[in-house]
Amino acid sequence: MKTIKGPALFLAQFVGDKSPFNSWQSITKWAAECGYIGVQVPSWDKRLIDLDLAAESKNYCDEFKGQAAMNGIVVTELSSHLQGQLVAVHPAYDTAFDGFCPEHFRGRPAARQEWAVDQVKKAITASRNMGISEHATFSGALAWPYLYPWPQRPTGLVETAFDELAHRWMPILDHAETNGVDICYEIHPGEDLHDGDTFEMFLERVDNHARCNMLYDPSHYLLQQLDYLDNIDIYAERIKMFHVKDAEFNPTGRKGIYGGFQAWADRAGRFRSLGDGQIDFGAIFSKMATNNFDGWAVVEWECAIKHPEDGAKEGAQFVKDQIIRVTPHAFDDFAGVEYNEAENRKMLGLES
């Protein structure tokens, strides 16, 4: 068994143009004041990190980590969620996702994809330079518009989409192998990798690549009505990262899983601050401990109701209360006796 590290905070939802959220120095100081000892860094946000420099210079990475350490903060992982999304974009989403890339790539899907691949590779290299062995990202999506099809999907459509998705990611996975970094895909609606079946379809096509792994976030599973506890046991060997995020699902006679195009606060399924939702984190942390997960418990704050700063402060204490310091010995060791093969055989009636 292993003890999870934490609490840590994913900074993507907090970066802004006002202090203390507008610089690396001030946001790490704020995170520490909230009770965190680690942060997960969105690699696309230049207010926090220069990704080009981080990929080129170990000295820059040492200074980056050192500045955080002065505030009592560890850099737990880098994230390339937005860039990973752009590795595979269905044309229906071209306009919407153009906002994730620099302006001169907008309206140029092929150039945008090439930029995105380069960005993810740089984030992986930067992770190596920081001595970090896991990296968070999205898979992107080609098949997502055909999730619930009418009329029925043409034969082979999904297979072709996943073949292409694997083709695009294989060079990135190989780059991750070269750099000793696990790619952890957040299994997430909107991505082609959105549940266990789709992850396995992809994993098969990348030849069970050792660097193809999961970022586990139970909130996305609750909203799909997927068994988020069983998922931990099924994918224990592939779960290398953990977002601690709560959610609730309260269907009515008017709405269910699909949400009726309503705003987040009015959906049957919605994300909540930690402790305000329905997820059984006691069971999750127990399974993580018994399955030897020794990564970070990273709070990803998303809530339709509560103020983010309140959610962040409450989340740090929530995770502290959930982390299980695993026992080094069995509770009944006091009644144990020394090993004696002859006595054991005698107890089993094996001695004549």
Domain boundaries, the chain: 5-347
182-211 mean pLDDT: 98
Instruction: Retrieve residue 44's tokens.
Output: 């696309």
Backbone dihedral angles phi then psi of residue 340, each to the nearest 5 degrees? -150, 105
Is the pLDDT at 216 greater than 70? The verdict is: yes
Helices (H), 180-256: 196-205, 218-224, 228-234
What fold characterizes domain 5-347?
TIM Barrel (3.20.20)
- CA–CA distance from 109 to each of 93, 101, 118, 139, 141 (Å)? 11, 10, 14, 16, 14
Closest listed residue to residue 187, CA positions, set 216, 208, 223, 162: 216
Mean pLDDT over each residue of the chain, to the nearest integer: 96
With H, G, I as helix, E, B as strand and everything else as coil, classify residue 270. Answer: strand
Q: Which residue type sits at 157?
A: L
pLDDT at residue number 137: 98
Return the beta strands (E) in 151-238 as ranges: 182-186, 212-216
Model confidence at 352, pLDDT cuts 50, 70, 90, reads low
Is the pLDDT at 337 greater than 90? The verdict is: no
Is the pLDDT at 278 greater than 90? The verdict is: yes
111-130 mean pLDDT: 98
Model confidence at 328, pLDDT cuts 50, 70, 90, reads confident
pLDDT at residue number 327: 85
Is the pLDDT at 335 greater than 80? The verdict is: no
Compare 331 and 64 and report the one with higher pLDDT: 64
- Provide the 10 A C-beta neighbour count for residue 171: 11
pLDDT at residue number 19: 96
Continuous segment of H or E residues that includes residue 172: helix 157-179
Model confidence at 343, pLDDT cuts 50, 70, 90, reads confident
Compare 326 and 244 and report the one with higher pLDDT: 244
Angstrom distance (rounded) from CA 137 to CA 130: 17
Is the pLDDT at 299 greater than 70? The verdict is: yes
pLDDT at residue number 13: 97
Model confidence at 145, pLDDT cuts 50, 70, 90, reads very high
Angstrom distance (rounded) from CA 307 to CA 315: 12
Is the pLDDT at 195 greater than 80? The verdict is: yes
pLDDT at residue number 186: 98
- pTM, two decimals, is 0.95
pLDDT over 70, % of the chain: 100
Contact in structure between 102 and 155 (CB atoms under 8 Å): no
